[in-house]
A and B are shown apart, each in its own frame.
Chain A
Amino acid sequence: SQQGEEDPQALSIQEGENATMNCSYKTSINNLQWYRQNSGRGLVHLILIRSNEREKHSGRLRVTLDTSKKSSSLLITASRAADTASYFCATDEWLTGGGNKLTFGTGTQLKVEL
């Protein structure tokens, strides 16, 4: 089952503009992570925000978390063509065996045009 659902599914902007992607989830979480995936490549970890945090920054990235609404947003400021990729949110579920499972949404495809 998909816990995180990203919105929009696709986003096209001009270089220099800001890009905002949203993620909604269904159950309680320990933390939420955002990943980037370039076409045909692996997943690159961007940022982790814990359930007791509301906002986190990393360079041009800003992530917010609203646990009451079960939602998160990723803002990329001053976008560049190199930011073109798919972006996924992943919620963290602890497993009975002692491990944890990331549940990913289907992602937002961001295209930044020159």
Chain B
Amino acid sequence: NAGVTQTPKFQVLKTGQSMTLQCAQDMNHEYMSWYRQDPGMGLRLIHYSVGAGITDQGEVPNGYNVSRSTTEDFPLRLLSAAPSQTSVYFCASSYGRKETQYFGPGTRLLVL
């Protein structure tokens, strides 16, 4: 199994541009989520999904959009990038809400 994969690894955007961060898992996990990691802030939950077709907001959802059309994929869309969205983004998945969350390698995003 490849586990949780994320693309791209690194991206530079200009303010106002949009982009999609890709996340995929091949473990047949129902639960998927997006976190961002900022210095001194730890990881914070952006959006999560408990299954295909179901998404919900986390702590810091503003400026981000998600969809879950398949069990495997959970893309994160930045609608209009802002410098405050400069961060490292991690996707995670788990079999169930009581189970271990497995993280992808991260996407480092710089918004100029």
Contact surface of A with B, Cβ cutoff 8 Å: 2, 30-31, 33, 35, 41-45, 48, 50, 88, 90, 92, 94-95, 97-107
Of B31, B33, B42, B105, the contact of A105 (CB 8 Å cutoff) = B42
Q: How far does the alpha carbon of A98 sit from the alpha carbon of B30 in the complex, in Å?
A: 11
The B interface is mostly helix, strand or loop, or mixed, namely: strand
The A interface is mostly helix, strand or loop, or mixed, namely: strand
B100–A99 contact, CB under 8 A?
A: no
Categorize the interface residue count of chain B.
20 to 34
Contacts of A94 in B (CB 8 A): 97
Q: A41-B106, A97-B48, A100-B31 are in contact. Are A48 and B43 (CB under 8 A)?
A: no
Contacts of A90 in B (CB 8 A): 43
Using a CB-CB cutoff of 8 Å, which residues 17-36 of chain B contact chain A? 31, 33, 35
A33–B105 contact, CB under 8 A?
A: no
Using A42-B105, A95-B58, A101-B48 as known contacts, list a sample of 5 further A-B pairs with CB atoms less than 8 Å apart, ordered by residue number in A. Answer: A95-B56, A97-B54, A97-B56, A101-B58, A102-B43
Q: How far does the alpha carbon of A107 sit from the alpha carbon of B105 in the complex, in Å?
A: 18
Number of residue pairs spanning A and B whose beta carbons lie under 8 angstroms apart: 69
Q: List 17 A-B contacts (CB under 8 A).
A: A33-B101, A41-B105, A42-B103, A42-B106, A45-B100, A88-B42, A90-B43, A98-B54, A99-B31, A99-B48, A100-B31, A100-B94, A100-B98, A102-B45, A102-B101, A106-B40, A106-B41
Contact surface of B with A, Cβ cutoff 8 Å: 31, 33, 35, 40-43, 45, 48-50, 54, 56, 58-59, 90, 92, 94, 97-106
Min C-beta distance of A9 to chain B, whole Å: 11
A99–B40 contact, CB under 8 A?
A: no
Min C-beta distance of B2 to chain A, whole Å: 13
Give A100's nearest chain B residue, CB to CB. Answer: B97
Contacts of B90 in A (CB 8 A): 42-43
Min C-beta distance of A99 to chain B, whole Å: 4
Q: How far does the alpha carbon of A71 sit from the alpha carbon of B70 in the complex, in Å?
A: 38
Contacts of A103 in B (CB 8 A): 42
Most buried by A among B42, B45, B99: B42
Of B58, B59, B102, the contact of A45 (CB 8 Å cutoff) = B102
